[in-house]
Amino acid sequence: MRQMLCADSLKNNSMDDVKTFYVPGDLVTLRHDKIENKPIMYVVEKVTKSYVNKESDERENVFIGIKTRWFDVNQVLHEAIFSTKDLIHV
């Protein structure tokens, strides 16, 4: 788990602006408390989408989310992409 403080949080002495980075192999779960049987998942990779800007002919990358994998109670492997806002480290 990697965390980084924003410049504003250092000025205001608050921890609300802590940025969390996920690396492959990190264990995560869903942030939402209302979901029952939240799986513990492992991070596979960062997912981005590339496209070519028509005006400048440059390739640009857009962050999509974090790809995770987990097994359910029946030992079936699942894979999904989640926003970083929906995940927390275990």
Q: What is the pLDDT of residues 23-54, one digit of tens each?
A: 999 999 999 888 888 999 999 999 999 999 88
Is 28 a domain residue?
yes
Residue 29 lies in a domain: yes
Confidence grade of residue 16 (pLDDT, cut at 50, 70, 90): low
Within-domain flag for 4: no
Is 10 contained in some domain? no
Grouping H, G, I as helix, E, B as strand and the rest as coil, residue 22 is coil
Indicate whether 11 belongs to any domain: no
Task: Count structural domains, the chain.
Answer: 1
Residue 56 lies in a domain: yes
Edge-to-edge strand ranges of the sheet holding 59-71: 77-82, 59-71, 41-52, 27-30, 87-89
- The β-bridge partners of 51 are 60
In this prediction, residue 9 has a pLDDT band, given cuts at 50, 70 and 90, of very low
Residue ranges making up the domain that contains 74: 23-89
Residue 2 lies in a domain: no
Token code pair at residue 81: 């992409």
